[in-house]
Amino acid sequence: MQAGLFAGHQDHAISLADSASSSSSSWIPSFLSTTKNTAAAALDADGRVHDHPIPHLIADAEAAFGAKLERQSKTLAQAAAEYRRRYGRDPPRGFDTWWAFAAEREFKMVDEFDGLVEDLAPFWNISGVELRRRALQAGELPSIDLVRIKNGESEIIKVPSRFQDSEGGSRARGFARLIAEFVDSLPDMDFPINAKAEGRILVPWEHKAYPNMTSFDTAAGIEAVLGKDFPADWAGGGNVWDSYRRTCAPDSQARRLLSAYRNPSADARRPLISSGSATSAAAQAEGGAEAAFVVSGINDVDFCDQPHEHYSQGHFFSDWRTFPVLYPIFSPAKARGFADIRIPSHYYLGGSSRYTYAFDEKHIKEGEIDPMEVPWEDKEEVIFWRGATTGGGSTPGGFSPYYQRHRLVRMSGDDPLKNLTILHPDASEPSVYAATTLPRAEVNKDIMDVAFTSATGAGYPGGEKALKEAHRFADAVPLGKHWSYKYLIDVDGQSYSGRFMSFLASDSAVLKSTVYKEYFSDWIQPWVHYVPVSSSYAELYNIYTYFSGPTPATLQAANQTQLETLDARKTETDAQLKRIARGGKQWKKTLGRIDDMEVYVYRLCLEYARLWADDREAMSYTS
Task: Supply the pLDDT for residue 550.
Answer: 93
580-605 mean pLDDT: 97
157 exposure class (CB count in 10 Å sphere: 0-12, 13-18, 19+):
middle
| Residue 367 CB neighbour total at 10 angstroms | 6
Contacts of residue 312, Cβ cutoff 8 Å, sequence gap at least 6: 264, 281, 402, 403, 404, 407, 535, 536
pLDDT score recorded for residue 47:
80
Mean pLDDT of 444-450: 96
pLDDT for 453-483, tens place per residue? 988 767 789 888 999 999 999 999 888 889 9
**496 pLDDT tier (thresholds 50, 70, 90):** very high
Residue 618's pLDDT band (cuts 50, 70, 90) = very high
Q: CB 365: neighbour CB atoms within 10 A?
A: 8
For the ranges 367-376, 459-468, 474-483, 541-550, which has the lowest average pLDDT?
A: 367-376
Chain centroid offset of residue 295 CA: 14
Q: Specify which residues 530 forms β-bridges with.
A: 526
**Which pTM value belongs to this model?**
0.89
Q: What is the pLDDT of residue 259?
A: 44
Per the prediction, the chain carries an average pLDDT of 86
The whole-angstrom separation of Cα 358 and Cα 534 is 31
Q: Is it the case that residue 416 has pLDDT exceeding 70?
A: no
3-class DSSP state of 197: coil
pLDDT at 37 over 70: no
Sign of the Cα torsion 404, 287, 298, 10 reads: positive
Cα 504 to Cα 574: distance, rounded to the nearest angstrom: 18
Q: Which of 597, 147, 158, 123 is nearest to 328 (CA)?
A: 123
Residue 261 pLDDT more than 60? no
Q: Sort residue 525 into left (φ over 0), alpha (ψ -120 to 50) or beta.
A: beta
Q: State the Cα–Cα distance between residues 436 and 447, nearest whole angstrom.
A: 16
Higher pLDDT among residues 411 and 562, named by residue: 411
The model's confidence at residue 290, banded by pLDDT at 50, 70 and 90, is low
- DSSP secondary structure letters along 111-145: T--HHHHHHHGGGGGS-HHHHHHHHHHHTTSTTEE
pLDDT for 163 beyond 80 = no
Per-residue pLDDT tens over the stretch 98-146? 999 999 999 999 999 999 999 999 999 999 999 999 999 999 999 999 9
Cβ distance 587 to 529 under 8 Å?
yes
| b (16+ CB within 10 A) / e for 39-74 | bbbebeeeeebeebbbbbbbbbbbbbbbebbeebee
* Other CB atoms within 10 A of residue 388 CB: 14
pLDDT digits (tens, 9 = 90+) for 40-86: 888 888 888 989 999 999 999 999 999 999 999 999 999 999 999 99
- 382 with 449: CB under 8 angstroms? yes
CB 503 within 8 A of CB 394: no
Cα torsion through 117, 122, 128, 130, rounded to 10:
-150
Angle at 150 between CA 145 and CA 154, to 5 degrees: 50
Candidates 4, 8, 60; CA nearest to 529 is 4
Instruction: Look at 241-245, 340-344, 389-393, 585-589 and tell me which has the smallest mean pLDDT.
Output: 389-393
Report DSSP letters for 455-518, one per residue.
---TTSTTHHHHHHHHS-B-----GGGGGGEEEEEEE-SSS--TTHHHHHTTTSEEEEE-SEE-
- pLDDT winner (highest mean) among 267-276, 359-368, 594-603: 594-603
